[in-house]
């Protein structure tokens, strides 16, 4: 198949999933075309002969206070679909990609060319509009005009149906793990350097946005530290970092906390960690938690969104209400109480992550594309009518 993938090329979860999916599809022999404004982060070091990147230009002009990216992207899609003869367009994150793809589809149709569009909903493209009605009509329209729609968790599917009037069934296809990269690996020398007295290492990975409640990570860490000396590694960067640093200073624990910033080799850090902490206010899936579990790290998280679908309470970690740092701290101590308990949670975390192996999930996307292509001919007739 010749597949066009549209995504945000940044460190955000949707871009990561889109890139890993594209790489996986290419490995299986499909021709994959990424169409976005910059090479996606996880594509930069991965040269493959059947992966192509088409850069959407910055349509800047002195008149534009806001360069019209939507128009530039739609034009690029028309161009790439026509000249590369793509079979299907798969857009990740509804805003603005679903409606832009629909615009491109209509332009192509006016030239007698039909390309089906699959939209994958990732989370904030739905939950954000739940709080911000300014986007809602466009998002609903884009979803309803897609030939196929997938959501990364059952909870996200439910929320989408709750917020919008959705015509067709949304298919749940979970996010996945590439075990060639995220797997348990012995990094004891590295661990010893950071925790010389065998202290447990806690980790958190995010884009440091408010929704991640990174401040709570530090508060949970503080609660654990009072009972059991430990270390905290904070990976990622974003708008909340300054406030989080301030909290560490106030608590007086800066010497035990390391801000590592954005990291490419996250798996190396996960492999020296004993617990992963994700106290998000909202999380449609929680790919960061799954990546930790694939490296055999149990998870202390909130019980929101799709998190209960991956983190099994009392088995792979624990779930708590948003903001309940006391409960999250106590749960962490339950896991860290002795070596056997920790090992049991670690084993369970790894076993659960294996259910989301790319080899299990990727064929679901391929089957879905096939299904959409089969129904495309019928859809084309309806569109033309």
List residues binding ligand GMT (CB under 6 A).
Answer: 12-15, 17, 93, 122-124, 127, 152, 175, 207, 211, 282-287, 305
Q: Which is nearer to ligand GMT, 237 or 383 (CB)?
A: 237
In the structure encoding, which two tokens stand for residue 302, read together?
């909130």
Q: Which is nearer to ligand GMT, 75 or 311 (CB)?
A: 311
CB of 68 to ligand GMT, least distance (A): 22
Question: How wide is the angle at C-alpha 2 spanned by C-alphas 103 and 101, nearest 5°?
Answer: 10
CB of 131 to ligand GMT, least distance (A): 12
Q: Which is nearer to ligand GMT, 78 or 151 (CB)?
A: 151
CB of 61 to ligand GMT, least distance (A): 29
CB of 325 to ligand GMT, least distance (A): 19
The torsion of the CA quartet 31, 37, 40, 46, rounded to 10 degrees, works out to 50
CB of 175 to ligand GMT, least distance (A): 5
Report the C-alpha gap between 91 and 126 in whole angstroms: 15
CB 200 within 8 A of CB 228: yes
Q: Which is nearer to ligand GMT, 9 or 329 (CB)?
A: 9
CB of 289 to ligand GMT, least distance (A): 8
Report the C-alpha gap between 216 and 325 in whole angstroms: 6
Q: Which is nearer to ligand GMT, 93 or 276 (CB)?
A: 93
- Output DSSP code: residue 346: H
The beta strands (E) that lie in the chain are given as 2-6, 31-36, 51-55, 88-92, 117-121, 148-151, 171-172, 201-205, 231-235, 257-261, 275-278, 299-302, 317-320
Report the C-alpha gap between 139 and 277 in whole angstroms: 32
Peptide bond into 96 cis (omega under 30): yes
Report the C-alpha gap between 321 and 332 in whole angstroms: 14
CB of 153 to ligand GMT, least distance (A): 8
Q: Which is nearer to ligand GMT, 274 or 291 (CB)?
A: 291
Report the C-alpha gap between 234 and 73 in whole angstroms: 35
Q: How many CB atoms lie within 10 A of CB 122?
A: 29
Q: Which is nearer to ligand GMT, 177 or 257 (CB)?
A: 177
């Amino acid at each position: 198949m010749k597949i066009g993938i549209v995504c945000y090329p940044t460190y955000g979860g949707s871009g990561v999933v889109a890139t890993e999916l594209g790489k996986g599809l290419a490995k299986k022999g499909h021709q994959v075309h990424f169409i976005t404004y910059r090479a996606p982060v996880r594509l930069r070091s991965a040269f493959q002969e059947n992966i192509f990147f088409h850069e959407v230009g910055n349509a800047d002009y002195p008149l534009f206070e806001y360069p019209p990216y939507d128009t530039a992207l739609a034009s690029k899609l028309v161009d790439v679909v026509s000249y590369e003869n793509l079979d299907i367009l798969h857009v990740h994150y509804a805003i603005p990609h679903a409606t832009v793809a629909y615009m491109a589809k209509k332009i192509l149709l006016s030239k007698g060319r039909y390309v089906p569009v699959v939209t994958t909903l990732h989370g904030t493209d739905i939950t954000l509009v739940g709080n911000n009605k300014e986007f809602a009509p466009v998002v609903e329209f884009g979803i309803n005009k897609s030939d196929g729609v997938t959501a990364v968790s059952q909870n996200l599917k439910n929320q989408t149906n709750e917020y919008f009037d959705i015509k067709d069934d949304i298919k749940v296809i979970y996010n996945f793990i590439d075990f060639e990269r995220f797997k348990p690996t012995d990094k004891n020398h590295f661990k010893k350097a950071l925790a010389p007295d065998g202290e447990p290492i806690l980790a958190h990975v995010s884009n440091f946005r408010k929704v991640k409640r990174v401040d709570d990570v530090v508060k949970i860490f503080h609660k654990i530290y009072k009972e059991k000396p430990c270390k905290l590694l904070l990976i990622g960067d974003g708008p909340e970092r300054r406030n989080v640093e301030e909290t560490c200073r106030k608590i007086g624990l800066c010497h035990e906390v390391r801000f590592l910033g954005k990291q490419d080799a996250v798996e190396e850090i996960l492999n020296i960690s004993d617990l992963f902490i994700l106290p998000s206010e909202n999380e449609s899936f929680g790919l960061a938690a799954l990546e930790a579990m694939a490296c055999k790290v149990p998870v202390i998280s909130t019980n929101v969104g799709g998190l209960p679908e991956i983190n099994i309470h009392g088995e792979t970690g624990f779930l708590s209400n948003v903001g309940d740092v006391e409960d999250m701290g106590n749960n962490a101590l339950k896991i860290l109480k002795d070596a056997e308990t920790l090992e049991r949670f670690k084993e369970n975390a790894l076993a659960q992550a294996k259910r989301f192996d790319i080899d299990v999930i990727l064929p679901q996307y391929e089957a879905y594309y096939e299904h959409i292509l089969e129904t495309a001919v019928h859809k084309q007739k309806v569109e033309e009518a």
